[in-house]
């Protein structure tokens, strides 16, 4: 709800975090599916193992960036919705943004919990991550299955978010897309 005390625009840090996280998630989704498919087809050759190690490292970087982003968002807030949006558009965009935040946290946390339970090394630039789930192979399989389902839900939501951004930017031309752009 607009209170009149919101900032006028997203800060440079908010925009930088939005685009960096977007880039990382948009690359990790297709590469994640490819990696799992390749593992099944090649019985985990060296390149598949490299992809898994990179996936865990970059996934953990995303988790930390998202945590930082939430701290910035909660302390600074966001600009009030563009005035021309209908109540329905405000409701839907707010709901999609909230769900994106939830899934941006849930997806890497489920991945981390899954590798903790296996236990596989949750690797972060060569360091082992502390485990966040008890060792239990059945639990690990369930957690990683949920990680995959949550990633599919995230991909669907990103597609919706992207379609909304394009509609505002190129059909309605109402300034919604512009305000997440650098320099705007
Ligand atoms: C936002 C960050 C992340 C995204 C978008 C992401 C996305 C994905 C996707 C799309 C898959 C393929 C799912 C499937 O085909 O079943 C996958 C698999 C996997 N991810 Fe992630 N992931 C992220 C973070 C992490 C983290 C932090 C870890 C662990 C530290 C992790 C560990 C794994 C593992 C072990 C698999 C393979 C699961 C299997 O073999 O069934 N992921 N991830
Ligand atoms: C694919 C290209 C993308 C475009 C063109 C785009 C565009 C935008 C725009 C214009 C806004 C501002 C909306 C407003 O002011 O009401 C926004 C906000 C947001 N975007 Fe994206 N986005 C993209 C990708 C992503 C991805 C991949 C994610 C995360 C998975 C994401 C998460 C968010 C979130 C959570 C917000 C709300 C920000 C806040 O108010 O704190 N975006 N995006």
pLDDT per residue as tens digits for the range 99-123: 999 999 999 999 999 999 988 766 6
Helix, strand, or coil here: 79? coil
Output helix, strand, coil percentages for the chain, rounded to the nearest 5. 70, 0, 25
Query: Above 80 in pLDDT, residue 126?
Result: no
Residue with tokens 């949550």: 150
Distance CA 96, CA 94 (A): 6
Specify the DSSP class assigned to residue 171.
I
Establish if 156 belongs to a structural domain.
yes
What's the mean per-residue pLDDT of the chain? Answer: 94
**Per-residue pLDDT at 130 exceeds 80:** yes
Residue 103 CA, closest ligand 2 atom number: 30
Q: Please give the backbone phi and psi of residue 123, each rounded to the nearest 5 degrees, phi first.
A: -100, 135
Give the mutation target among 19, 22, 173 for probing the ligand 2 site: most ligand atoms within 8 A of CB: 22
Which pair of tokens denotes residue 140?
A: 């690990």
Cβ of 17 below 6 Å from ligand 2: no
Classify residue 4: in a domain, yes or no.
no
**H-helix segments, 118-136:** none
CA distance 180 to 26: 17
User: 105 lies in which domain range?
Assistant: 12-180
Q: Is residue 108 part of a domain?
A: yes
Q: Indicate if ligand 1 lies below 6 Å from the C-beta of 144.
A: yes
Q: Within a domain: residue 100?
A: yes
Of the candidates 1, 152, 121, the one whose C-alpha atom is nearest the C-alpha of residue 57 is 121
Rg (CA), the chain: 19
Residue 1 lies in a domain: no
Note the pLDDT tens digit of each residue in 161-184.
Answer: 999 999 999 999 999 999 999 987
| Residue among 152, 133, 156 nearest 143 (CA) | 133
Ligand 2 geometric centre to CA of 154 (Å): 13
- Domains of the chain: total: 1
- pTM score, two decimals? 0.95
CA–CA–CA angle 92, 98, 104 (5° rounding): 130
Largest CA distance in the chain: 58
End-to-end CA distance of the chain: 23
Does residue 56 lie in a domain region? yes
163 located within any domain:
yes
3 in a structural domain? no
């Amino acid at each position: 709800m607009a209170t009149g005390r919101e900032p006028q625009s997203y800060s440079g840090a908010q925009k930088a975090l939005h685009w960096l996280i977007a880039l990382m998630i948009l690359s990790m989704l297709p590469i994640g599916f490819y990696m799992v498919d390749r593992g099944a087809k090649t019985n985990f050759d060296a390149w598949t193992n490299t992809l898994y190690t990179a996936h865990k490292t970059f996934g953990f970087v995303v988790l930390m960036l998202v945590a930082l982003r939430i701290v910035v968002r909660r302390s600074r807030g966001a600009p009030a919705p563009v005035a021309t949006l209908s109540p329905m558009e405000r409701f839907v965009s707010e709901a999609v943004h909230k769900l994106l935040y939830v899934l941006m946290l849930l997806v890497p946390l489920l991945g981390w919990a899954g590798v903790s339970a296996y236990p596989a090394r949750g690797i972060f630039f060569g360091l082992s991550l502390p485990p966040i789930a008890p060792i239990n192979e059945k639990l690990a399989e369930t957690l990683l299955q949920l990680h995959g389902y949550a990633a599919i839900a995230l991909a669907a939501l990103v597609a919706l978010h992207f379609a909304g951004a394009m509609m505002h930017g190129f059909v309605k031309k109402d300034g919604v897309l512009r305000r997440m752009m650098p320099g705007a």
